[in-house]
């Protein structure tokens, strides 16, 4: 059994992972690291972590696995800070929403220790942040994508895979580039659309929301995502996100053309295709 897993950043995802590890007995100790000892103490009282420290050396030393669960923009700083305490007994992983950029930061900062970094991303979340919203079942039946480095050892990858499978997740493997292309489409793009929709409505008529039905609430739910997290994702997955927004705008333009021309058949086709596909995805 694993003796100590350290979670750096005990927020929604870090907290949910900590809870899932404890619930499924995946490690003797779940150790939390953060900048604010009051928050860490609260997380300990809420039984999310067993121990905590605001001292990175203490947090990282003797860990079997260190999980970085902070916004992706903080990785450079955190990796630089933990590097002095790394050994070849410590495996590092992350939960970041982008992968290509993280892999390049890891190689740049960790050098030879990058062999021990196994990049991962659980496809799970909520519009709320903070460990107060965390759930031990958050990863249950959810996908976790591991994008291994060519220098990762098979047993390292295996250990991270086992950890995630232990939380109930289903692990897939792909390249960092495929991950970023895919997530740019299924997650980053919808978030950009939702943020922009809310901002468009604010600019037009801030009180319009009282006439919005349930569909709008669902649609805009993801616009309540954490601003810092999304800022970082935008910068790290910049090219993919811009490509997807531009591609999406072309699709939107075809729709505008069909409406402009009152092309009933085309509108029927567009909406029927979307409905059928969406129903089959969810069903």
**Nearest distance from C-beta of residue 62 to its own copies, angstroms:** 34
Two tokens at 207?
């009180």
Binding window for its own copies (CB under 8 A); candidates: 6-14, 77-85, 149-157, 214-222: 214-222
Site string for its own copies, 264-283 (x = CB under 8 A): x--xx-xxxxxx-xxx-xx-
Closer residue to its own copies in complex, CB, 31/230: 230
Site string for its own copies, 168-207 (x = CB under 8 A): ----x---------xx-xxx-xxxxxxxxxxxxxxxxxx-
Quote the CA–CA distance of 190 and 162 in Å, as a whole number: 30
Closer residue to its own copies in complex, CB, 93/220: 220
**Nearest distance from C-beta of residue 91 to its own copies, angstroms:** 24
**Nearest distance from C-beta of residue 58 to its own copies, angstroms:** 31
CA 109, 160, 184, 229 dihedral sign is negative
Say whether residue 217 binds its own copies (CB under 8 A): yes
Quote the CA–CA distance of 78 and 196 in Å, as a whole number: 31
Closer residue to its own copies in complex, CB, 133/224: 224
Closer residue to its own copies in complex, CB, 136/187: 187
**Nearest distance from C-beta of residue 60 to its own copies, angstroms:** 28
**Nearest distance from C-beta of residue 268 to its own copies, angstroms:** 5
Quote the CA–CA distance of 18 and 69 in Å, as a whole number: 11
Quote the CA–CA distance of 281 and 70 in Å, as a whole number: 31
136-155: contacts with its own copies (CB under 8 A): 142-143, 145
110-139: contacts with its own copies (CB under 8 A): 123-127
Q: Which residue has the tokens 């086992």?
A: 162
DSSP 8-state code for residue 188:
I
Count of Cβ atoms closer than 10 Å to residue 38 Cβ: 8
Closer residue to its own copies in complex, CB, 108/239: 239
Quote the CA–CA distance of 147 and 266 in Å, as a whole number: 40
Four-point Cα dihedral 87, 173, 22, 56, nearest 10: 30
Closer residue to its own copies in complex, CB, 80/274: 274
Count, residues near its own copies per rule CB under 8 A: 88
Q: Which residue has the tokens 């404890």?
A: 22
**Nearest distance from C-beta of residue 196 to its own copies, angstroms:** 5
Closer residue to its own copies in complex, CB, 62/243: 243
Binding window for its own copies (CB under 8 A); candidates: 58-66, 86-94, 99-107, 249-257: 249-257
Say whether residue 38 binds its own copies (CB under 8 A): no
Torsion angles phi and psi, residue 28, rounded to 5: -65, -45
Distances (CA, A) of 38 to 41, 44, 45, 97: 5, 10, 11, 27
* Nearest one of 33, 7, 39 to 130, comparing CA atoms: 39
Say whether residue 28 binds its own copies (CB under 8 A): no
């Amino acid at each position: 059994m694993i003796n100590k897993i350290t979670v750096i950043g005990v927020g929604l995802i870090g907290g949910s992972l900590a809870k899932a590890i404890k619930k499924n007995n995946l490690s003797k100790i779940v150790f939390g690291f953060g900048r604010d000892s009051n928050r860490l103490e609260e997380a300990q009282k809420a039984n999310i972590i067993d121990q905590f420290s605001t001292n990175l050396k203490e947090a990282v030393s003797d860990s079997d696995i260190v999980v970085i669960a902070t916004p992706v923009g903080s990785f450079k700083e955190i990796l630089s800070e933990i590097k002095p305490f790394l050994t070849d007994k410590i495996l590092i992983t992350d939960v970041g929403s982008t992968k290509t950029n993280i892999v390049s930061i890891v190689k740049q900062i960790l050098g030879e220790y990058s062999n021990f970094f196994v990049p991962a991303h659980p496809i799970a979340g909520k519009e709320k942040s903070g460990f107060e919203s965390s759930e031990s079942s958050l990863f249950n039946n959810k996908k976790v994508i591991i994008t291994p480095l060519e220098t990762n050892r098979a047993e390292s990858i295996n250990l991270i895979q086992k950890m995630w499978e232990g939380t109930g997740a289903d692990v897939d493997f792909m390249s960092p580039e495929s991950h970023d292309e895919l997530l740019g489409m299924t997650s980053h793009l919808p978030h950009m659309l939702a943020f922009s929709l809310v901002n468009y409505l604010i600019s037009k008529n801030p009180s319009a929301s009282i006439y919005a039905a349930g569909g709008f609430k669902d649609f805009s739910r993801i616009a309540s995502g954490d601003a810092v997290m999304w800022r970082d994702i935008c910068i790290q997955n910049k090219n993919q996100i811009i490509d997807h927004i531009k591609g999406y705008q072309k699709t939107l333009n075809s729709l505008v053309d069909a409406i402009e021309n009152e092309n009933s058949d085309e509108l029927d086709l567009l909406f029927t295709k979307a409905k059928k596909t969406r129903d089959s995805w969810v069903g």
